[in-house]
Chains A and B, each alone.
Chain A
Amino acid sequence: MSAIGRPLLEVKDLRMHFPITEGMVTRRLVGEVKAVDGIDFAVRRGETLGLVGESGCGKTTTGRCILRLNNPTSGQILYEGVDIAQMERKELQALRRRVQVIFQDPYSSLNPRMKVGDIIAEPIKVHGIETDGTKRAARVRELLSVCGLSPRFSDRYPHEMSGGQRQRVGIARALALNPEFIVCDEAVSALDVSIQAQVVNLLEDLREQFGLTYLFIAHDLSVVRHLCQRVAVMYLGRIVELADSDELFGNPLHPYTQALLAAVPVPDPSVEAHRTFRPVQGEVPSPINPPPGCVFHPRCPIAVAGCKQTRPALREVRPGHFVACSEIH
C-alpha cells in the first residue's frame, strides 16, 4: 500500500434513512427506507475510489450525503478531520469550494436558459472569487480549453451542443473553484460509447494535472476498473466488499461481487461462446424491509443457516481486502 498519509475523506458508520409517512395532514411515520445503513470507508488524497452497485444500493445517496445535499441520519463524514455532517451553513459554503460534483445527465444538470460561459462563471461569481468580469471571462475560456472545448462555446446554449460537449461543460463548472475533491455521480453513464472514452481520458488527465481526488460512483464495472485505484461494492445500503481495483476484479471474494462481474458481457463473441454463465437468481429486496442477517442471503449461492440471523461485518481478510461475508475466510 502506498505511503499516502491521512485520508482526505473518512466515512464512519454513515446512515441515511428516509422516512415514509402516511396521511396528508398528520404525516404519521409508517416506515423507513434504509438507503444507506452503516457504511465505513476512506478516500485517500490523490486516488479515485469507485463506488459500484445496482440501483437502490445507496451509492448515489452516499455521494449526496458527502456533498450535504442530504442530511445524514447518523454517522460521521470527516473531511480532513472535520465532520461534514455537523457543519453549519458558513462552513458548508467554504466546503463547496473544495468539494464539487459532476452529475450524470448533461441534459438536466445545465440550465437551458443560460449560456455556457455564464454557467461556468456562476460559481466563481457566487463565491466572490473573481469580481472583475473580464478576468472572469478569461478564466471561463481557460476552463473550457482545459476541458477540451473551444473558447467560442462560451456564447452557446447547452441545446446547441452534443451530449459529450455538455458533459465537458459540467466538468468545467466543477473545476471552476479549483476543488480538491470531486464526486462523479455516473459522470459518463449517459454518454454514447464512442464519447465515453474521451471523457474518461479527460477525467484522468485532470486528476493528474490538478492533483484531484475522485469518488467515482458508477454501475459500469469496466469503466470503474479502468479509472479507480480502489473499489467499494455496495448492496442494499451496505458495503459488501472493498479492495484495490486489481485485487477486486482479479480475485472477487463476496458472492455478490462475483455475480456482478459474471453478469457483465465481454465485447468478444469468442470469449462469450466459451463462458458458462448462469445469472444470479432473484431480485434486489426492498430497502424498506431488508432481509434479516446478511442482506444478500436470499440470492446467495453459498448461504448457510447462520446468514439469516447475523449481519456480517466488513472484515479485512487479506491486506487491504475487506469482505462482509461469514463464509469467506
Chain B
Amino acid sequence: MPPLLEVKDLHTEFRTGAGLVRAVDGISYTVEAGETVAIVGESGSGKSVSALSVLRLIPDPPGRITQGEIRFAGRDIMQLSDVEMREIRGGDIGMVFQEPMTSLNPVLTIGRQITETLEQHRGMDRYAAHRRAAELLGLVGIADTERRLRQYPHQLSGGMRQRIMIAIALACDPKLIIADEPTTALDVTIQAQILELMKDLTRRLHVALIIITHNLGVVARYANRVNVMYAGRLVETGLAPDVYHNPRHPYTQALLRSVPRLDRPRRERLDPVEGQPPDLTRLGVGCAFSPRCPFSVDACEQARPALEPTGVPGHLAACFRSREVYSEAAA
C-alpha cells in the first residue's frame, strides 16, 4: 500500500531582497497512515516550509514551489485546482499552528469557527454542525461546552485556544494533521497537556501527525519517526530511537550533545554546536554544515552528500563520513 503522504524532490524558493533563498532544496519524505513524524531543525532550516508546501500554503510571491511531487491519499496535490485544494485544507488535512490567538478569528465565536468548517466541508446544516461542535469540544477536554461555544477567542486562555484549534483540525475526520510548533507558545505544564491530548486523539482516531518542532524532548516523547533538517535539506531521517541513539549525521549528533538533560548528572560544560547558522542566500556547492562540522574533509566542500541508507532499515543520512560519525559515537 502506498504511504498516506509522499513528498518527492520538493523545492520551494523565496525571492527576497537579499537574493534567492532555497528554503526547501530537494527533500523527499513519506508519512504512513496513523503515524507521528517529527520534523526538527533550527529557525530557517525549512522545517515549516517543507510541511506548508504540502498544503500549498506558500505565499506567492515571494515564495514558489519550483519542483517536486506531492501525493496525498493517491492524489497529486500539485495538479489540484484551487477549489479542490480548499477542500483538502481543513478537510482531509487538518492544521494546528503555533499562535492560537492569531490563527483564530477574533470577531467570530468559537462555535461559529467550528461550525463554519463543518458546513463548508461536510455540508452540514446549522443544527447538525452545532451538535458536532459540542461533541468536538468534549473530545478535546473542554467542559461547559454550550457556554464555551458562545465565547470569543480573547475570553479563553492560550491552552484553551490551542484545544479549540485541535477541535477545528479534527472537525472533518482528517487523515493527517500538520502541527507547526503547536506548543511553543505555551507553558510547560500546558504544553504537556496539549501534547498528551494530541497523542491520545491521533492514536484513538488513527490520524497521522506531522509535528514541526525545535524541542528534542517533545520529539523523543511523541514521534515514531524523525526528519532532521538543516539549511533546506533533509540531513537525517529514521525511527526516533535509531536517530537518537545512533545519529549518523554530525549535525544531529552535535545537536543532541548540546542540550542539557534533566535525567543525567550535571555536566561541567555544555558542548555547543560551534559557529553560526548558515546564510541561506550564500550557500556554497558543498555540504551546508561543513563550516561547523568537526568531521569535515575536503570532499565536503566540493559536493553535497545525498541522503543514503545507513544499513539500518529506514535510517538514512546525508553525510560522506556517516560511518566515522557512527564509530566515533560508539567509541
Contact = CB atoms under 8 A, between A and B. Distances in A.
Interface of A: 54-55, 162-165, 192-198, 200-201, 204, 219, 221-223, 225-226, 245-246, 249, 259-272, 277, 279-281, 283-284
Interface of B: 42-43, 157, 159-160, 187-193, 196, 214-223, 240-241, 244-245, 254-256, 258-263, 266-267, 269-274, 276-277
A289 to B, nearest CB: 14
Given A249-B262, A266-B261, A165 B272 contact: no
A225 B271 CA distance: 16
12 contacts: A55-B187, A164-B276, A192-B214, A193-B42, A195-B42, A195-B277, A196-B258, A197-B271, A198-B272, A260-B188, A266-B263, A283-B190
A192 B43 contact: yes
A267 B187 contact: no
A260 to B, nearest CB: 6
A313 to B, nearest CB: 24
Contacts of A55: 187
Interface centre among A223, A283, A284 (most CB of B within 10 A): A283
A35 B124 CA distance: 46
Contacts of A221: 188, 262
B261 to A, nearest CB: 6
A271 B263 contact: yes
Contacts of A192: 42-43, 214, 277
Given A193-B255, A193-B258, A197-B272, A263 B266 contact: no
A283 B270 contact: no
A265 B215 contact: yes
A259 B193 CA distance: 12
Given A264-B217, A265-B220, A267-B220, A197 B188 contact: no
B196 A279 contact: yes
Given A265-B222, A283-B160, 16 more contacts: A165-B276, A192-B214, A193-B258, A193-B259, A195-B277, A200-B260, A200-B270, A201-B269, A222-B259, A222-B260, A226-B266, A249-B262, A263-B192, A266-B220, A272-B221, A284-B187
Contacts of B187: 54-55, 219, 284
A223 B260 CA distance: 6
A287 B104 CA distance: 25
A176 B273 CA distance: 27
A267 B215 CA distance: 8
Contact of B192 (A193, A226, A279, A283): A279
Contacts of B258: 193-194, 196-197
Contacts of A264: 188, 217, 262
Contact of A263 (B189, B245, B272): B189
Contacts of B266: 225-226, 245-246
Contacts of B256: 267
Given A192-B42, A194-B254, A265-B215, A225 B188 contact: no
Contact of B189 (A198, A200, A280): A280
Closest 5 CB pairs of A and B: A265-B217, A197-B272, A194-B273, A54-B187, A267-B216
Nearest to B160: A283
A193 B192 CA distance: 20
B178 to A, nearest CB: 21
Contacts of B159: 283
B214 A267 contact: no
B261 A283 contact: no
A58 to B, nearest CB: 14
Given A266-B217, A271-B263, A201 B270 contact: yes
B211 to A, nearest CB: 12
Nearest to A199: B272
A307 to B, nearest CB: 19
A219 B273 contact: no
Contacts of B223: 269
B85 to A, nearest CB: 32
B193 A267 contact: no
A35 to B, nearest CB: 16
Given A225-B266, A226-B266, A267-B256, A259 B220 contact: no
Nearest to A204: B269
Contacts of A54: 187-190
Contacts of B260: 197, 200, 222-223, 225-226
B282 to A, nearest CB: 13
Given A204-B269, A283-B190, A265 B276 contact: no
Given A197-B270, A204-B269, A222 B189 contact: no
A199 to B, nearest CB: 8
Nearest to B217: A265
Contacts of A194: 42, 254-255, 258, 272-273, 277
B193 A279 contact: yes
A198 B192 contact: no
A226 B267 contact: yes
B255 A279 contact: no
A267 B243 CA distance: 11
Contact of B261 (A245, A262, A267): A267
A263 B277 CA distance: 30
Contacts of A222: 259-262
Contacts of B270: 197, 200-201, 226
A177 to B, nearest CB: 27
A320 B221 CA distance: 34
Contacts of B272: 194-198, 200-201
Contacts of A226: 260, 266-267, 270
